[in-house]
Structure 1
Amino acid sequence: MTTSSALPQVRSLGYGAPFRWLAQGWRDLWRAPLPMLAYGLAVAAMSLALCYGLYVTNGAFWMLVLSCGFVLVAPILAMGAYESGRLLEAGERPSLRKVVFVRPAFRQDVAYLAVGLLIIYFFWGRMAQIVYGLSTFQLHDSVDALLTFALTTPEGRNMLVVGTVVGGVIAYLTFAIVVVSTPMLLDPEANVFVAVATSVRSVALNPGPMTLWAFIIVALLVLSAATCFLALILVFPWLGLASWRAYRDLVAAPHAVLAGSEMLRKGAADA
C-alpha cells in the first residue's frame, strides 16, 4: 500500500479482483433492475441510432472509428451507474431520476475531465484518419467495402495491425486516467487533479490486475457492439456498477485522507 500526504491511499490487489468486481456489480444490478436496465437501454439506443445514421449516410469509416472509440467516452456516460453504486452502498434505492440526473456530477471538475476525454476522442479519430490515409488511396463508402479491404488485402491487414497498436496505446492511457477518477469525482471533496493522479497511481501499483480489468471491459463492449448494441442494455450498467466497486476496492478512505490533507494545509497557513 502506498501513502501520500496529499493523495488517498491506494491498495495493492490480486488478479482475482476484477472478477470480484464483476460479481459484486452483477448483484448490485439486480438490486435495482428497472432503473439500471432503463439506463442501459438509453445508452444502447443512442449508440445504435448514431451508428445507423453513419451507416445510411455511407460513413463506414466513421462508424468503425466511433464504435471503437466508445470505450474512451463510456466512463462519463456511466456516471449514473456510479451514482447507483454509491446509493446502494449507502443503503438507499436508486431511482431512474437519480440515475439520469446525477447531481454530484454537475460541477466543474467533472466538466474538466469530460472535456479532456473529448479532446482525446478527437485525437483518436485524427490518428485513425492518418492510419487509414497512409494505408489506401481509395475511399470505402460502405461497411462491406471497408471490411473487404481490411481483411483481404495486405494493406488492409497492415492498417488493422498499426491501428490496433496506436489505438490500444491511446485507449490504455485513457483507461489509466479515468478508471478511478470518474467514480471518485462523485465525492465533492475530490478535485480533478487528485482524482486523475489517484487513478494513474492505482494502475501503476496494480498493472497486472488493472490490465486484466481493461481487457474485460473492452471484451464486453466489443461483444455488445457485435449484437448491434442490444447487449449494452445489460452490459453497460453492469460494468458501471462493477467500476464503482473497483474504485471502492482500490482507494482507501478517500474522505479521511482528503480531509486530513486540508487540515494540514490550513495548519501550515495559520502557522
Structure 2
Amino acid sequence: MDDQDKDSAEVEATPDMATTPGLPSVAKIELGAPLGWLKRGWSDFTKAPLPCLIYGIVLAGISAFIGWALVFSGAFAWIFVLAGGFFLIAPVLAMGLYEAARQIEKGETPSLGDMAFVRSAFRSDLAYLGLALFLIYLLWTRIAQVVYALSTRTLHKTPAEFLTFMFTDPDGQMMAVTGTVVGAIIALLAYMLVVISAPMMLDKKRDVWTATITSIRAVLDNPMPMLFWALIISVLTAIGIATAFFGLIIVFPLIGLASWHAYRELVPSP
C-alpha cells in the first residue's frame, strides 16, 4: 500500500466525520492537510508531466493574452478584475486535471486527449455550476466598475498611473481597500460553492445541488484548513500572474491536481 492509499484508508476509517441524511459524509481534517494535497498533486504532475504542462500552457496563454490586451489597450485597472475572475472560474477549467488525477489514482496514465475531452464533464449540471460562477463574476466586474468610478473621474491608462493612484492617493487607497474587501467576500462565496463540487460531480455523477451543498459543508466543517487552502491557492496564483503569467504553466496544473486530492480526503468513499 502506497502513501496515498494509506492516507485514503485513514480518512475512511476515521470516526470524526460530519454526516447529513441523504448527503455524503464530510471528513474532519487537520490544518496541515492542504500541504499534503500539494505534495500529492506534485507527485501526480511528475507522473504525467507533458499533458499537464500543455494544459497549463494553454490556460496560461489565454490568461496572458487577455492580461496583456488589457495593458496595451489602456485598461490596466481591469487586470485586477481579471485576476479575481480567474479565481472564480478556474475550478471549472480544471476538469481535465481532475480527470488526470483520477486516472493516476487508478494506476493509469492520462493522455492530453483524456484531459481535453472529459466525457463526464459534458452534462447540464456542470453547465449550471459554470453559469453560477459566470454570474458571480459578472457581479464582481460590475461592483469593481462602480468602486473605481466612485473613486476617481480619471481613467488611468498605464500601469504606472494606476499604481501611483492606488498607493499614493487617499481615494485610490480607499478604492483598493473597498475592492479587496468586497472581492474577498465574493471570492469566498464562490470558493465555498465550487472547491469540492466540481471534482465531486466528475467522480460521483452527483447533481449540482448535492455537490454544492457538500462543498459548503466541507468549508464550514473545516474552516481553518479550508481557509489555509484558499490562502495557498491565492498566493500561488498571484505568483503565477506576477511572473507575466509564465508561472501559471506550473501553478495551474499543480493546484488542479491537488484539488482532486482535497476532494478525495474531504469526501471519502464509503
Q: TM-score scaled to structure 2, two decimals? A: 0.92
Distance 1:252 1:33 in 2: 27
The aligned counterpart of 2:82 is: 66
Question: Following superposition of structure 1 onto structure 2, how do residues 1-40 of structure 1 map, counting pairs within 5 Å?
Answer: 1-40=17-56
| Residues 82, 240 of structure 1: 8 Å contact kept | yes
SS at match of 1:58: coil
Question: Following superposition of structure 1 onto structure 2, how do residues 92-131 of structure 1 map, counting pairs within 5 Å?
Answer: 92-131=108-147
Distance 1:5 1:169 in 2: 29
Matching of residue 85 in structure 1 with residue 101 in structure 2: yes
Q: What is the identity percentage for the equivalent residue pairs of Structure 1 and Structure 2?
A: 49
Distance 1:166 1:227 in 2: 25
Task: Find 2:182's aligned residue among 166, 187, 196.
Answer: 166
| Residues 84, 187 of structure 2: 8 Å contact kept | no
Tell which deviates more after alignment, 157-166 or 200-209: 157-166
Task: Find 1:189's aligned residue among 183, 198, 205.
Answer: 205
SS at match of 2:155: coil
Question: Following superposition of structure 1 onto structure 2, how do residues 216-235 of structure 1 map, counting pairs within 5 Å?
Answer: 216-235=232-251
| Residues 29, 36 of structure 1: 8 Å contact kept | yes
Distance 1:125 1:89 in 2: 38
| Unaligned segments of structure 1, at least 5 residues | 257-271
Superposition CA RMSD, Å: 1.0
**Once the 2 structures are TM-superposed, how far is the Cα of residue 60 of structure 1 from its aligned partner?**
1.4
The aligned counterpart of 2:214 is: 198
Question: Following superposition of structure 1 onto structure 2, how do residues 120-159 of structure 1 map, counting pairs within 5 Å?
Answer: 120-159=136-175
Q: TM-score scaled to structure 1, two decimals? A: 0.92
Structure 1 segments, 4+ long, off by >2 Å, are: none
The aligned counterpart of 2:268 is: 252
Distance 1:228 1:32 in 2: 25
**Once the 2 structures are TM-superposed, how far is the Cα of residue 72 of structure 1 from its aligned partner?**
0.6
**Once the 2 structures are TM-superposed, how far is the Cα of residue 57 of structure 1 from its aligned partner?**
1.4
Distance 1:28 1:81 in 2: 10
Matching of residue 243 in structure 1 with residue 268 in structure 2: no
| Residues 75, 179 of structure 1: 8 Å contact kept | yes
Distance 2:97 2:205 in 1: 20
